[in-house]
Structure 1
Amino acid sequence: MHEPSERTDGSPVRIGALAPLTRPGWTEAGRHLLAGLELAAREVNDAGGIAGRPLELLVRDTAADPHRAEAAVEELARLGVAAVAGEYHSVVARAAAAQADALGVPYLCSSAVLDALTEQPTDRVARLAPAQSRGWRIYADFLLSGGHRRVAVAAEPSVYWASGTRILRDHLAEHGGTVVELDARAAVCDELAGSGATALLLLAGSPEPAVSIVKAVRSDRRLAEIMIGAPAGQPEFAGWAASLGGDGAAIPFLRYLPERLGPLGARVGTALRERLAEAPSFVAFEGYDTVTVLAEVLRTGGSWSSVAVEGTRGEIRFSRTPGISVWQWAWPPIQVADRDPAEPDRFRILHTG
């Protein structure tokens, strides 16, 4: 990533930006991610760009399709991008990372958490989101603190959901807990009623089948005492509240924000709210931080190991983390939050890690 300092012709420095912008991708997440990427790019250019050259985002829609992501990375590499950034879905980000690594293009993953982002260790790929093993263990600690030792998961078939189930099972087992697996596509309520579980976790896509499962459980008198949880963050977005109303409240989920934003985070949050016409999610902040980091690396010609950048959620530095094959921001803030039943548009912080 030394090219920007070597050219002074005013041509743009191009960054490929991947996001799920159409179904079956999680389009709300994609829209928030893109808003953060675009806001930061605009601010970089307002401040003089990269060594006098404008920063240009080449946006590609992955639609949650790994093959589409691979093709996009190949196209972006042909177009001469300095780096690739973005993506929300873990399985898609994994495909993008493998392709970028194979083609020699740096990739900064914004929001996907799957631990095994690449099969082999690589210096070309870095990630801002916390690894799934860290975030989901914190979620398991939250469950244990609430007395939940028999936990059911309504899971769809996916490497991501299977990985999450394994993390939860292993961590709960260390404290005498167990995980009961249910098929998210089957009659969840009947299985749940006979499972002995005190909590049900939605390891399933949003809006469907997650929204339908919540409605079914909330309307089943046998399950009135069951806590519903969503570690993957489904309730973070406004569409969740719009689909479920009060039924979507009191469903704890993981979000990657500090308890209180600093001055930069507060300023960016205001700008993102104006851009999105709604409260920005943690994914929008991840998008902003992605371009902020890449701009610094491109300006300095540095590496993931040398970068130190003030992000919206704290200082960002990358390191090698045991068991993680890419350069990782080791300490993103993590909280378990839910929507307040008394005011579903307001979030409550329940646990931090």
Structure 2
Amino acid sequence: MYMKTLFIFLALTFFSACGASASPSNQNSSVSNEWMNNSPSDTAKYFYAVGYGATQKDAKSDALATISAKISVDVASNFSSSVTASRQSDNEEVLSTTKNEVVSKSKNIEYTDVKVEESFNDGKQWILLVEVDRAILSATYERKLEKVDSQLKAEWAIFEKAGLFEKLKLTPTIEKYLKETDTFFPLLHALNVNYDDSKYTKRYLDYTKEMRKAKNDLVFKIKADKNSETLASLIRSELSAQNATFSDSNYNVLISITTKAKEGKVNSTNETFKKLTIAYRNTVIKATDKNGNVVSNVEYKTKEGSSEGFQDAISRTAKYEKKISQIGIISFITGN
């Protein structure tokens, strides 16, 4: 009887010990996987996010997309205090468009040195916790900004020495670089709350003011042959939309437009196409300064069709309008 009682006691003690040792293990597992349901909060140094995917690569991409979404929210809230907002403050339409572009691009951030803090496969998918160092990410975009800024400085050095119309020709390139920097400043502010953009702010504002002044100092006269009259009207309209000034006597830039055209027909069995007359046009837009010096000369070869005859085909402006919408009126008349 004693032996039986002792055996039962030892058995209960053994199983009790096993149960006691199993409990902490389960608790530790629960604690160690808590990150899956409760991602660590972002800090001044790091971004954190949990991602899910069929592969570890997919899960990592998902986590980074979550971080990008958080950054884009910060970009939107920081935009009003950025260099870009200061530079474009007097143009609400451009400002709104630029903000949308900047926020959109901030969702496609180029990440480097991404650290996977935790990983787990539940049999169905991978779950990853990633950490992104703010300082490393910020340094990457600061380098990108410096590269564009160097190109901008070089172009500006040429602009400062250029004549009036030459400045107009250089403006699209400078504006392209400034537009490229627009994507950096709000992002850098979102990555680093202490980011200082003061070394760019005044300089970029000065660039913008000087380009506007150069544009306002120009006074145009447009001269066109018969084949180019509708194009001349289009150019005048586009320049007027940018507040350009015109004069037939006190001008400092003369825009001369000439168009030579050859007639052609469509070789087709389709009755509609057979009725079309094709104009193969060769258009030259030449700009001269007040001293008669040629400052730009650009040529466009286009083809237009019309059922109303050869002259109507020549006068159509759809191809020109499309080109202007793609590159802008300044680039259109200067060839830059």
Give the TM-score, by structure 2 length.
0.23
Ranked by relative contact order (alpha carbons within 8 Å, sequence separation 6 or more), the top structure is: 1
Greater CA radius of gyration, 1 or 2? Answer: 2
Higher helix share: 2
